[in-house]
Every structure is written in C-alpha cells, then in structure tokens.
Amino acid sequence: MTKKKDHMIIGYTAGVYDMFHIGHLNVIRNAKAQCDYLIVAVSTDELVKKEKNKTPVIPFEERKDIIASLKYVDEVVPQIDKNKFGAWQKYKFNKMFVGSDWENTPQWKKYEKELKPHGVEIVYLPHTDGISSTKLTELIKKILPNE
C-alpha cells in the first residue's frame, strides 16, 4: 500500500459491498480517478444488522478481502458506525465519495455541513441504475428452491 503524504488528495468512501457488483466497482473506480490515495470503509456485519435490519450474504471479512483486492483501493478499514465526522477525524481525507442517489438527502446535507468547515469536499458519483445487492439477493431467492 502507498504511504499517505501531506500533499496527496486522500479520498474516502464507504459501503456494505455485499454481493459485489458493477455499481460498486463504478463508484470505487470513479473515486480513485479523483484522488491519490483511496480509503474504502466496509460496513461490519453488526452495522448492517443495526442500520438495515438484515444480515449480509457475504461475511465482513470476505467483503473486506474482495475490496482490498481491487487495484483502485489503497486501504480498507471497517465501518463500525455512520459517523462521517468521526471517520474524518481518524483518516483526515480531503474528499468523500458517495453515489448520486444520496445527493440532497437530509442525511448527506448534514454530512456536508459537518465536513465543509474542515475542507472536505463531498463528491456525488453517478449511480449505476438497475443494479443493487438487494435486487441480486431477491433474484437468487426466486431462483433457488426454498429449504
């Protein structure tokens, strides 16, 4: 992994990355194109259970390994909560990347307000329509017989 330097643009993005798909890759690839060093936070199983009330299909350690294997990713960290300011305090990123489907939501307006005084730019990357881990899970459930 590359060593972080003071003059580098450090990027940060976070997600569950369950059942990794092209939408996940698009966000990570587009984020890396806009920074020198990309930190990707992967939500822990406990956070997914708490926030989404479901258990990921792929366990945290495996999701983390999948993300770490991508050439666009410089560092993988666990996301144990949704405190974006706390993440900034820990990792000191300059840019935070998120899908455009979150733009103008109350949650992300709050993050923008918290992080702007610290020089953090929130970049909304194009959402890949038609694909999601939830859709993939639903499709698999239809295909596989009930056990």
Q: Does the active-site annotation cover 141? A: no
Q: How far apart are CA 11 and CA 91, in angstroms?
A: 9
Strand partners, 12: 39, 96
Joined tokens for residue 67? 């993300």
Q: Does the active-site annotation cover 109? A: no
Q: How far apart are CA 9 and CA 21, in angstroms?
A: 26
Catalytic residue among 49, 50, 52, 90: 52
Catalytic residue among 3, 32, 49, 54: 54
Joined tokens for residue 88? 């900034």
User: Which DSSP string corresponds to 50-112?
Assistant: HHHSS--SS-HHHHHHHHHTSTT-SEEEEE-S--HHHHHHHH--SEEEEEGGGTT-HHHHHHH
**Longest pairwise C-alpha distance within the chain:** 55
Which residue numbers are catalytic?
A: 52, 54
